[in-house]
Amino acid sequence: MKKTLTSSVAIAALCSSAAFAEDVTVFGPWLGPDQELVEAVLSDFAEKSGHNVSYVGSDSFEQQIVVDAEAGSAPNVAVFPQPGLASDMAARGFLTPLKDGTADWVRDNYAAGQSWVDLGTYAGPDGAEDLYGFFYKVDVKSLVWYSPENFEDAGYEIPTTMEELKALTDQIVADGETPWCIGLGSGGATGWPATDWVEDMMLRTQPPAVYDQWVSNEIPFDDERVVAAIEEFGAFARNDDYVAGGAGAVASTDFRDSPKGLFAAPPQCYMHRQASFIPAFFPEGTEIGADADFFYFPAYEGKDLGAPVLGAGTLWAITNENQAAHDLIEYLQTPVAHEIWMANGGFLTPHKGVDLSKFSTEAAANMNQILLDATTFRFDASDLMPGGVGAGTFWTGMVDYAGGKDASAVASEIQSSWDALK
């Protein structure tokens, strides 16, 4: 149900360019508690700008926004869960470029700013590239979860490089324990956790430009650099000594169950690589920062690729231009637009100007710091690839690989499926 957010009296004008109040409609993927939180943000914008704001959420956003745009009834602003669809719509002339200077603002005010500019820049109908997407609300995937108590009891230190992480893995084995819990099961989406591993390994073994070429298939999936990243994942997942239940259990273990080994007594594993959302599947009552904590999935010290972070996020784009829509994008550049949601949880941001004390928990602030320390940010590759690959053969191929199939053979089959779509 649409909820209109208005203020009877605007307490301040947000932008000097706003000569009068306008209606601005926002359409996005958030429902339930997240809808309430985005509406709180939009309410603040309405109060500060004087514009009349309404938000509609849908679990069929990706389909509906295309229908609305084609019918000429698009909202003023659309919130895209990933860049691929936004890029397609920009090429069809359904998006309006953001104001001049916005890209410079992002470069200056977002950590790894150029990465965010690149992710929001698309070719328009004339082939010219412009900034169309403004990222707001980000998820981090480059995390390793662990039990501080288990680490303390065993005398383990948090690794800060990939070399140290691999050494710790071997040390845990030498101590007679199992370092990792890994599970790829996810019903019809089984295999996706492995794609995150491979994406993280691509960012830790290759420059960002190579990652981008892989995502766009400018280099084939069976390029030796991609195969090497798959094998980096395999070095962990296909070693019986490294994984709880042995390598054979990786593909059949549900990803929601896989972190439970961290909390067993004695521990079934000491580390679990997974995104920021995984605490939802920890045992009830688990306190983040005490019972469980996380550290950055580190980069190789010897490869000089900085501190890359893999993640996802939402981008806001103008789909039916008016001044209020531009004012809303300008509002999203203010720290308060981020801090309102930060204070209520479930929100991370690359905005360097936010007050980290506004986060609802210290753990959230620490997680956000990983995002702020990033030198490169890249969006989840499988979400950017064609659906038949990213949510198809890439998933199933990783299951085959985890089961013992050769990495080169798997990569070639994935590339063949991509070729079939062209």
Q: Tens digit of pLDDT for each residue in 277-289?
A: 999 999 999 999 9
Would you say residue 293 has pLDDT above 70? yes
Would you say residue 16 has pLDDT above 70? no
User: Which residue type, as a one-letter code, is found at position 140?
Assistant: V
* CA distances to 238, 274, 332 from 6, in Å: 56, 39, 17
| Spatial distance between the Cα atoms of 221 and 69, rounded to a whole number of angstroms | 33
> 143-306+384-421: which CATH architecture?
3-Layer(aba) Sandwich (3.40)
Q: Please provide the DSSP assignment of 274-307 as one string.
A: --TTGGGGSPTTPPBTTTBEEEE-PPPGGGT---
> Apex CA 411: angle with CA 410 and CA 415, to 5°?
120
Structure confidence by residue, pLDDT tens digits, 239-278? 999 999 999 999 999 999 999 999 999 999 999 999 999 9
Would you say residue 15 has pLDDT above 70? no
Q: What is the pLDDT of residue 347?
A: 96
State whether the Cα torsion 260-264-267-268 is positive or negative: negative
- Fold: same for 3-132+309-374 and 143-306+384-421: yes
Read off the pLDDT band of 11 (50, 70, 90).
very low
Average pLDDT score over residue span 351-372: 97
Percent of the chain exceeding pLDDT 90 equals 95
Would you say residue 2 has pLDDT above 50? no
Q: Please provide the DSSP assignment of 39-100 as one string.
A: HHHHHHHHHHH--EEEEEE-TTHHHHHHHHHHTT---SEEEESSHHHHHHHHHTT-SBPPPT
- The residue to which tokens 């593909």 are assigned: 251
Average pLDDT score over residue span 316-338: 98
Q: Nearest CA to 230 among 284, 174, 185, 191?
A: 191
Would you say residue 18 has pLDDT above 70? no
Read off the pLDDT band of 12 (50, 70, 90).
very low
3-132+309-374 under CATH 3.40.190.10, yes or no: yes
Q: In the numeric block, which tokens belong to residue 179?
A: 């370092």
Average pLDDT score over residue span 338-356: 96
Average pLDDT score over residue span 74-83: 96
Q: What is the pLDDT of residue 19?
A: 56
Domain ranges of the chain: 3-132+309-374, 143-306+384-421
Q: What is the pLDDT of residue 14?
A: 56
Instruction: Name every residue whose Cβ is closer than 8 Å to that of residue 254 and which is 6 or more positions away in sequence.
Output: 183, 185, 186
Read off the pLDDT band of 6 (50, 70, 90).
very low
Would you say residue 8 has pLDDT above 80? no
Q: What is the pLDDT of residue 422?
A: 85
